[in-house]
Structure formats: C-alpha cells, structure tokens
Structure 1
Amino acid sequence: MIGQKSHLANIDKWKQWREERKLEAKQTLIETYLPLVDYVSGRLSIGLPKNVSKDDLTSYGVMGLIDAIEKFDYERGLQFETYASWRIRGAIIDGLRQGDWVPRSVREKAKKIEEGYQKLEQQYLRSVTDAEMSQYLQITESEFQQMVQDIAVTTVCSVDDPIREEEAETRLSILIDDKAKSPESTVHDVYLKDTLALAIERLTEKERTVVSLFYYEELSLSEIAEVMSLSPSRISQLHSKAILRLRGSLSRHRTQLFQD
C-alpha cells in the first residue's frame, strides 16, 4: 500500500477539525490523504467495463474520503488510512451502482451462481467443483466458465455492502470494534467470523491464494496473475468464484441465525 503514515502525525489538524471545526484543517487533511483515493480507485478499476472512467472513480472516491474525515474519531486510536480506505471503496461501489453499470442479466447470472454455491456446499459440506455447478445450472462447463467471466465485475466487493440486500448490517460493521456490545451481538459476530473462516477454508487452493494476495497482500489482479503464472482472465474467474462462495456462506449464516 502507499506509504502508511500514522494519523498521529497530523494530530494538530485532527484536533482543529474535530474540536474547532476549522475548514482549513479539514482541507489540509483532504489534501494529505488524497493519494488513498488514487490507490483504491486504481485497484478497483481493474476488470471494470471500459465505459467506466477513472475520473468517475476518483470523483466517487473523493466523496468517500471527505465522508471518512467527517466521521473519523481520532481519539479511538484507529488507523485512519484503513478506515478511509473502507469508506472510499464503499463510495466508489455505491457510485457505480447508482450509475447502473452492470446489466440486469449479468446480475441475474451472479445470483444464480451464488445460490448454486450456497445450496450445493450446504448439501456436500465442501467446496463444489465446476462440473457439479455446471450440472446444477444445467449448462456445460465451458458455458459456466463464460458466466463466471461475464460476472467478474460484479464481485468487486465493498465492505460497506449490506450482508443481505434488505438489511442495514454491513461487512464494515463487524470489523469496527464498538465500545459496548450486547452478549447477543458478540455471539453473532463470533459466529459470523467463524462462518467466514470455514468458508475460506473450503475455497480451492488457488481461490484462497487469490483472496489472500488481493485482500491481504493488496496485489492487483494483474500482479497476482504474474505471481501465479496464470492469465489475468483466469485470476478474475478465481476471484469471482471465491467471492460468490463467500457470499453464499454469509447468506446461509443469516438464514440459520434467524431460524435459531
């Protein structure tokens, strides 16, 4: 990631903005952290349709950065760069959604595959193969691979996304350590994290590698392709299948939680 600099280096500006609401301090903070927008938008731009311009991504990202600066509480001791990156990413995804950049047919394909992974992996309690998914969808394996390739752009996953579309709880909400949590909330969070951990274990080896390199090592898809000696399109497919499997696991988690 770009050079990580503790927000404590700008503590005077944070105090001036948070306590005195000085616009000059806010502007300084925006200018200081603008490189985060370039970094996040650059990563998200990979694999997006050509009609999505880099200027659009940057514009959405700047709005996310401003939102992060307005809401960030420096006294909690959190790293601003991490918090802001979540907000920037979420703002970009929200902006793209509002622009309806993904055709309905592509979203429907993604939903079918996600539901297939959810049903079959709950049935077999393991990672299902492409052949099994193709049989479930009643298509050939080559057609399944093409479907995965078609929906690659829908799997750019925002931590500000709701865990389920009709609910307000987001992936970001389970990462931020709220100071006071009810016992029920704590049990829910532990269960959710365990569910995700198990889901990641069930990914294929290549899918786990892609997830690790993309989300933890923060390599781009093209860099991952070079590391793994695979084509960028193949890496995109692996990423898409991994995200759809994880989404299916989250959906199962929510269903089981409410049934209990």
Structure 2
Amino acid sequence: MMKVVEKEKLWQEYSKNPTQETREQLIVEYAQLVKLVAGRLSMYLGYNVEYDDLVSYGIFGLIDAIDKFDLSKNVKFETYASLRIRGAILDQIRKMDWIPRTVRQRQKRIDEAVKQVEMRTGKNATDEELALELGITDKELNTWQSQLKVTNVVSLNEFEETGPELVMDTRCNSKFAPPEDVIAEDELKQKLSDSLGVLTDNERKVIELYYYEEMTLKEISRILGVSESRVSQLHTKALAKMKKIMGDYLNIIV
C-alpha cells in the first residue's frame, strides 16, 4: 500500500497527464476498496450472489470513479469511489433481475404475518410465531428470509437516480441529509438506543461489529463462533427490529 504522500503525488500526476500506466497504478492501489465494499454488500445479499461476482462488478465502478474524480473538489477519493463501486454492483444486480415474483410475494406475506402477530401479542414476533402464522416450518421460514435479502438491494443505493455527481458537491459525502438537519441529535441517539434495546445479544453484537467496527461477514462469524450464513440472518433480523422504532431514520445510521 502506498503512503498518503505517494498517493497524492500519483493523483497529481494523473490529473496533469492521465496515462494508461498511471490509471492502472491507481486501480491496483484502490482494488482493496472494491473488496471492502463488496464484502459489506454481501452482508445484505447473503449467498444469493457470489462474492467474487460482486468484486468483478465493483471494479467497473472503481475505474469509473478514477476517470471522473475531480481532484480540485474537497472530497476524499475513497468516499466518492465507494459510492461509485456500490452503484456499479447494485446496478448490475438490478439488470440481472434476480428478484422473482414469488420472493416479492413472500416479503408481503411475512410483513403481514409480523403485523398480525404483534397486534395480537403486543411484542416483537419470534421466528416460531411467524412460521406458525404463515403455516410453514421453521426451516422454510429461514429459507424465505435468506431469499428476501435480495429484495433489500433495491433500496440500498438511490444515488444513481438522484445523480452520482452530487457526492462531489458536498463536504458530508453522503446521499443523506446530515442527521442534525433531519432530527435533533439527542433524539436520534435516543431512538438508536431504544432500537438497540430490542435486539438479542448476538443481534446487537452483529450491528456493533458491522457498523461501528466495520468488520466483514467472515470476521464477525469468527468472533461469534457461528457461520457466515447465521451472521447474515442475525443482521437481517436486527435491521427489521430496528426499523420498527427508527423508521426512515435508520437510513442515517446504515
């Protein structure tokens, strides 16, 4: 890995004289960023998409970011490139239309089952209660939940529709409005605290390790001593519980 000073020199060189050789140097230097973004997205997608495929799609986003990056803007390349890489991966997944109608229908059935169970019990619905409400086995419910990770990808990245160049025009480098412009900071912290409070110990650990420690699916599985598939399930369940309390504000955090 290059030092920061060396990276800056390389960018200065590429800005003045964008040769193929310098471009390839930049691609190699930031290839690890593609793996990081692909690894984080794999948390949402589970085993519906191969990790190596995500990396392949992401490389095109990295190349696009290098070609379009404006060094004169006060924006970190890593932040800008991460959005481009993420967008390239999700765009390819959308084009391949990997969300069958049956999966969408199952999402609606689960949402309705959750609503019915919680109206009846006044508590968060457990997997056992959901399976019973849906008239399926626990194993079938786990299969459904795994398939539903793909549907989450549709809302993971809207910056393509609003214009990916927007990230170059803001210091916050985010497609979301700053939290203080949406909700008072103390209220946001309270909502976050409340939402974490409804999670099981393992669900909370997954959220903390994933979002605060920025660990990958594989790293978390090693720490918790469970499979990557189980970590992915815990992550999905945790976000579903948190969204009931935080609503759209969950987008500020994740």
- TM (normalized to structure 2)? 0.66
Residues 33 and 78 of structure 2 are in contact (CA less than 8 Å); yes or no, is this contact kept in structure 1?
yes
- CA apart distance, 1:120: 7.9
Show the counterpart of 1:187.
181
Q: Equivalents in 2 of 1:118, 1:73: separation in Å?
A: 48
Show the counterpart of 2:229.
233
Show the counterpart of 2:47.
48
Show the counterpart of 1:14.
11
Cα distance, 1:58–1:251 mapped onto 2, change above 3 Å: same
Matches within 5 A, 1:1-260: 7-18=4-15, 20=16, 22-24=18-20, 25-41=22-38, 44=41, 47-49=46-48, 52=50, 54=52, 56-74=53-71, 78-113=75-110, 127-131=124-128, 133-134=130-131, 137-139=133-135, 142=138, 143-155=140-152, 161-162=157-158, 168=162, 177-178=171-172, 186-188=180-182, 190=184, 194=189, 198-246=194-242, 251=247
Q: Which amino acid aligns with 2:219?
A: E
- CA apart distance, 1:238: 0.8
Q: Equivalents in 2 of 1:39, 1:211: separation in Å?
A: 17
How many residue pairs match? The answer is 238
Deviations 1:145-193 (CA, angstroms, capped at 9, x unpaired): 342233244456885x239xxx8499x97xx6449xxx99853265795
Residues 75 and 171 of structure 2 are in contact (CA less than 8 Å); yes or no, is this contact kept in structure 1?
no
Q: Equivalents in 2 of 1:221, 1:155: separation in Å?
A: 17
Q: Equivalents in 1 of 2:237, 2:163: separation in Å?
A: 23
Q: Which amino acid aligns with 2:181?
A: V
Q: Which amino acid aligns with 2:56?
A: S
Report the identity percentage: 35
Q: Equivalents in 2 of 1:223, 1:95: separation in Å?
A: 26
- CA apart distance, 1:10: 1.8
Cα distance, 1:237–1:70 mapped onto 2, change above 3 Å: same
Describe the SS at the equivalent of 1:100: coil
- CA apart distance, 1:219: 3.3
Residues 60 and 95 of structure 1 are in contact (CA less than 8 Å); yes or no, is this contact kept in structure 2?
yes
Q: Equivalents in 1 of 2:73, 2:111: separation in Å?
A: 37
Unmatched 5+ stretches in structure 1:
255-260
Q: Equivalents in 2 of 1:75, 1:158: separation in Å?
A: 31
